[in-house]
Each structure stands twice: as C-alpha cells, then as structure tokens.
C-alpha cells in the first residue's frame, strides 16, 4: 500500500515538473546515463535562453527525484531532492530539500550552447568522460524563500515545497555579495542561521555543537544530517578543434563537440530531529 501511494505521489510530481518544462524552456534533451551502480538513469536536460538557465532532472533508483537548476546570471546552483518518506517509521509521504550554492559559470556549458545541442542517437547509453569526484558543502543557513530573490529569482519557485528546508553556506554568500558589489549584510534578511552555526553577521563565534545523525539513536534529537547527490552526466564544457582558415596557411578553431562530466555533492546540514534524516544511518 505504501509503495502504491508513493508511486502516485511521484507520478503527480513528475507530471507537474514536465508541465513546467514544456511551458518555460527552449529545448529539451533526454539522455540515458549508466550510473556507477550499473543502473541506467534517464536525465531530462532543458535550457531557457531568456532566463539564462539550464535544468537537469532525473529519478534515482531509490525513487528520489533530483532537480538541478543552473542560474548563470547570478552564478547560483539549486540542487533539489524529493525524497519518498518511510511511512512505517512515521514520515510523511515525501520531503523536499533544496541546497543553494555558488556555481562557477565555466563549469557547465552556457544555456545558449545547451539549447543548440542535438542528439544523434537518443537511445544510446552515455558515460561521462571525466569524474570530478565529490565536493563537500557544510551548510550554515536556512534560506527564507520570501527574501531569496536577492540570491536568485528562481529559488522561491524551485524550492516552494522545501519551506524551511532550503539551505546555503556563508562562504558562498560572500562570493555572491562580492560579484554583485553588495555588502554581505544585505543578505541577512534572506538567511536564518542554524543553532549550531556562529552568527557571522554579528561576529558571534559561539554555536552549540550537534552530533552527527549517525551517532545518535533518539529519533527526536537535533543532529547534523548528511545527504549525497550525484549528477552522473552533464555537459561541463565545449571542445574545440583546429582546422585550416580561409587565408593561406592560417589555422582556425571551431567548436566540435562537448565535454561531459560526473560530480557528486555531499551536504552536511542541521535538522531539528533525526526523524528528518532516516537515510543517514
């Protein structure tokens, strides 16, 4: 019964996401990717040139729906995870988490280049050319959605279901402030610190430490949760080849393909009770 309910919940969520993609995007590719466990995962990648964004979405073998949204204009990456609940352990049908962090523009092909990609063999199973390993992110703040526009105008919509489960980290707030030429303090209304995080806006270094969720058994105790999300295949750069130019003995460079990568992100963040982090055991 639980599996059937979870199935219908996930189908409804997927249909909603697909409807949104049809309305707002310029192009969409469907890529079959073999993950490290040997399973084939289908990724939907879409580009919106007007908003200068790229969205990548897939469902993991455990039913988790992962959405990556790249906001090139503001150098922001949104990584959203919809995790099916374990009803027999007291969880609701699903929970949504959003992780907001800095995104270097050169680490993904542009939305314009993405919109021009075409698939020669849509049924092919893809493998990334380069594994970039794992990046660790220790989250410092909850992002308050009603004020999140100062970071990116896409956060409020993308993370609407996450509520107070949208997170970011201080060092990236500093990067965004520097890039925008704004004082770091201007971001304070959009952020709520964890009880375990020092208040860096007031130079308060104190913060109550919380144990890792893996180290405690009480389901109602605050702890630090860990969640790893991996993007198994994405176009991380363009390839250029050299050829003869129009002038005699001249050489010219031209775009001749894309480079593809795999990357994992490990997030460490505060939860008010271990019940919100049952997978971290």
Nearest to 280 by CA among 230, 220, 228: 228
Q: What is the pTM of this model?
A: 0.84
Residue 9, pLDDT score = 42
Q: What is the average pLDDT score of the chain?
A: 85
The pLDDT of residue 106: 85
Residue 1: is its pLDDT beyond 60? no
| 175 CB-contact burial (10 Å; exposed 0-12 / middle 13-18 / buried 19+) | middle
Q: Looking at per-residue confidence, does 156 or 117 come out higher?
A: 156
Report whether pLDDT(25) > 70: no
pLDDT at 236 over 80: yes
> Rounded to an integer, what distance in angstroms lies between the CA atom of residue 151 and that of residue 144?
11
E-strand stretches of 72-123: 76-84, 94-102
């Amino acid at each position: 019964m639980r599996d059937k309910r979870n199935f219908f919940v996930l189908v409804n969520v997927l249909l909603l996401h697909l409807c949104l993609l049809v309305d707002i995007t310029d192009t969409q590719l469907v890529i079959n990717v073999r993950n490290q466990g040997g399973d084939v995962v289908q990724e939907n990648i879409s580009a919106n040139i007007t908003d200068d964004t790229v969205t990548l979405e897939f469902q993991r073998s455990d039913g988790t729906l992962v959405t990556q949204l790249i906001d090139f204009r503001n150098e922001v990456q949104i990584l959203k995870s919809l995790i099916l609940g374990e009803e027999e352990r007291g969880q609701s049908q699903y929970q949504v988490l959003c992780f907001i962090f800095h995104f270097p523009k050169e680490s993904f092909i542009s939305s314009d280049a993405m919109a021009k990609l075409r698939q020669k063999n849509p049924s092919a199973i893809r493998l990334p050319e380069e594994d970039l390993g794992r990046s660790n992110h220790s989250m410092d703040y909850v992002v308050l959605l009603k004020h999140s526009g100062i970071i990116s105008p896409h956060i409020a919509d993308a993370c609407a279901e996450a509520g107070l489960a949208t997170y970011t980290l201080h060092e990236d707030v500093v990067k965004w402030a520097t890039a925008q030429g704004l004082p770091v303090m201007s971001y304070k209304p959009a952020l709520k610190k964890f009880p375990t995080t020092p208040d860096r806006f007031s130079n308060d270094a104190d913060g109550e430490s919380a144990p890792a969720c893996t180290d405690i058994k009480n389901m109602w105790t605050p702890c630090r949760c860990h969640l790893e999300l991996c993007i198994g295949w994405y176009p991380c750069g363009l390839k250029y080849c050299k050829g003869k130019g129009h002038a005699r003995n001249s050489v010219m460079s031209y775009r001749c393909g894309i480079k593809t990568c795999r990357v994992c992100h490990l997030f460490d963040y505060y939860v008010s009770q271990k019940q919100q982090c049952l997978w971290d055991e």
